[in-house]
Amino acid sequence: MQIQLSDHFTYKKLLRFAISPIMMMIFTSIYGVVDGLFVSNFVGKTPFAAINLIMPFTMILGGVGFMVGTGGSALVAKTLGEGDKPAANRYFTMMVLFTLLLGAGLSAFGIAAMPQAARLLGATDAMMDDCVVYGRIVVAFTTAFMLQNVFQTFLSTAEKPKLGLVYTVAAGVTNMALDALFIAVFRWGVAGAALATGVSQLVGGVLPLFYFLRPNSSLLRLTKTRLELRVLLKACGNGSSELMSNISGSIVGMLYNYQLLRFAGEDGVAVYGVLMYVSFIFVAAFIGYTVASTPIVGYHHGAGNHKELKSLLKKSVVLMLSAGVLMMLLSRALAKPLANVFVGYDQELSQMTQHAFVVFSWSFLLAGFNIFASSFFTALNNGAISAAISFLRSLVFQIICVLALPALLGLDGVWWSVTVADVFACIISVIFLFAKRKRYHYM
């Protein structure tokens, strides 16, 4: 039997609904990691460092899709909960049309600005050409990347999370197959990695577009509408925390790379690249859960079902904290094999990566709770608090930590920065949850 947003969610039903989005986000992260894996092993550590250096800039552009998707899906879910399906379909269509228009503009901007962005990020002469080639090709597919991000969230809102997983797996298989062909066989280097990523994003972004254009069995479908500034601003404002998280992560990534170039040179950037790739996979599970839970919370908020909101908050906190402990233990156990997979060809680099893994693993304990707390307020259509949690966690606290801790702990200070920032973010998240409990009646 298909799970509906209006259902009462037990732990079992919540996990059943969330498993497809979780697997979807994990698989998205895994096939993103494949680029780095092939480049590191078949092209070299300097090109590997180059794509990690330019990636924050490309992610900022593509991350706009997360804003539109999460903010828009929360608004649409709330509208569905209020019983106005025609309006929900109009809002959904607006988000897709807005993504198409905005994506085209961002692609043009990114291609033109790529050399300046690479230099600003600190690309050395040896890295410059690879940064520009990889970045321009990836940015050319920004519209598809944004659509993929938008549909990943809306497929859960449409009560079709399994279909989202199907599209993601199709995109992932495409990316991995083309990575092997373009990099290992054709020897196209970073250009091959970028092209493989772009084509896979076409699969993940365009196929769902055709699904919603046709009559379908989901809650949502594309319909005739016009862009309404008020609705777009409300959705973007509500989803601003996700964009802020993406931008903040990219800005902080630039700062990390700057500090690592100072303390450990290009090897430090390569180690950070490995940590980020693996972190994407672990954190993807938390993000996948929020993709599933956001429309559920939004629906019951719109329906005024306070009892279900209380249940969802309690269960989600338990699940996020438990998953954090599990991921911390798992990342420590996998530190050596993962380091060897990426940089096993360089023994010194591998040992540096293993040590960084062990320190960095503590960051997973509270990451899930903080990510959920931000998305919970997005689902309640309170973009201001959601953005505040995300802004403080992913930008302010991390900037302070990555600047201050290396002065005290040297290179280890860089690896500890995320964990310390998450401790402060957890305190802020708890304060906001208690402060707004009477307004939303979730406690």
The DSSP string of 303-354 is TT-HHHHHHHHHHHHHHHHHHHHHHHHHHHHTHHHHHHHHHTT-HHHHHHHH
| Distance of alpha carbon 35 from alpha carbon 276, whole angstroms | 13
What's at 422, amino acid-wise?
D
H-assigned helices in 216-305? 229-238, 240-302
pTM: 0.78
DSSP 274: H
| Distance of alpha carbon 324 from alpha carbon 345, whole angstroms | 31
> Measured in whole angstroms, how far is the alpha carbon of residue 81 from the centre of its chain?
26
pLDDT of residue 385: 93
> Measured in whole angstroms, how far is the alpha carbon of residue 317 from the centre of its chain?
20
Nearest Cα to 275, choosing from 349, 185, 204, 207?
Answer: 349
Q: Going residue by residue through the chain (443 aa), what tens digit of pLDDT does each one get? A: 678 999 999 999 999 999 999 988 888 777 767 777 788 889 988 898 888 788 878 887 877 777 888 888 889 999 999 999 999 999 999 999 999 999 999 999 999 999 999 998 888 898 899 999 999 999 999 999 989 988 988 999 999 999 999 998 999 899 999 999 999 999 999 999 999 999 999 999 999 999 999 989 999 999 999 999 999 998 888 877 667 776 777 677 778 877 877 777 777 777 887 787 778 788 889 999 998 999 999 999 999 999 999 999 999 999 999 999 999 999 888 888 888 877 777 788 888 888 888 898 999 999 999 999 999 998 998 988 988 998 898 889 989 998 899 889 988 898 899 899 999 999 999 999 999 999 999 98
| Distance of alpha carbon 33 from alpha carbon 280, whole angstroms | 8
**What does the block give as tokens for 323?**
């998953």
Q: How far, in Å, are 58, 76, 109, 114 from residue 139 at the CA level?
A: 6, 29, 9, 9
| Distance of alpha carbon 224 from alpha carbon 40, whole angstroms | 47
Q: In sequence order, what are the residues at sequence separation of 6 or more whose Cβ sits closer than 8 angstroms to the Cβ of residue 29? A: 277, 280, 281, 283, 284
Helix, coil or strand: residue 180 = helix
pLDDT of residue 46: 86
**What does the block give as tokens for 25?**
């986000």
Place of tokens 């043009």: 108
Tell me the residue ranges of DSSP E strands in 5-65: none
The helix (run of H) or strand (run of E) holding residue 52 is helix 45-62
pLDDT of residue 52: 79
Q: For residues 323-362, b (16+ Cβ closer than 10 Å) or e, as one string?
A: bbeebbeebbeebbebbebbbbeeeebbebbbbbbebbbb
pLDDT of residue 101: 93
| Distance of alpha carbon 121 from alpha carbon 409, whole angstroms | 24
Radius of gyration from C-alpha coordinates of the chain: 21
Place of tokens 């092997």: 180
| Distance of alpha carbon 120 from alpha carbon 137, whole angstroms | 19
DSSP 182: I
Q: Environment class of residue 220 by beta-carbon count within 10 Å: exposed (0-12), middle (13-18) or buried (19+)?
A: buried
| Distance of alpha carbon 225 from alpha carbon 358, whole angstroms | 52
Phi, psi of 325, rounded to the nearest 5 degrees: -65, -45
Find the Cα–Cα–Cα–Cα dihedral 221, 224, 229, 233, rounded to 10°. Answer: 10
Instruction: Residue 166: count other Cβ atoms within 10 Å of its Cβ.
Output: 15
pLDDT of residue 301: 94
pLDDT of residue 373: 96
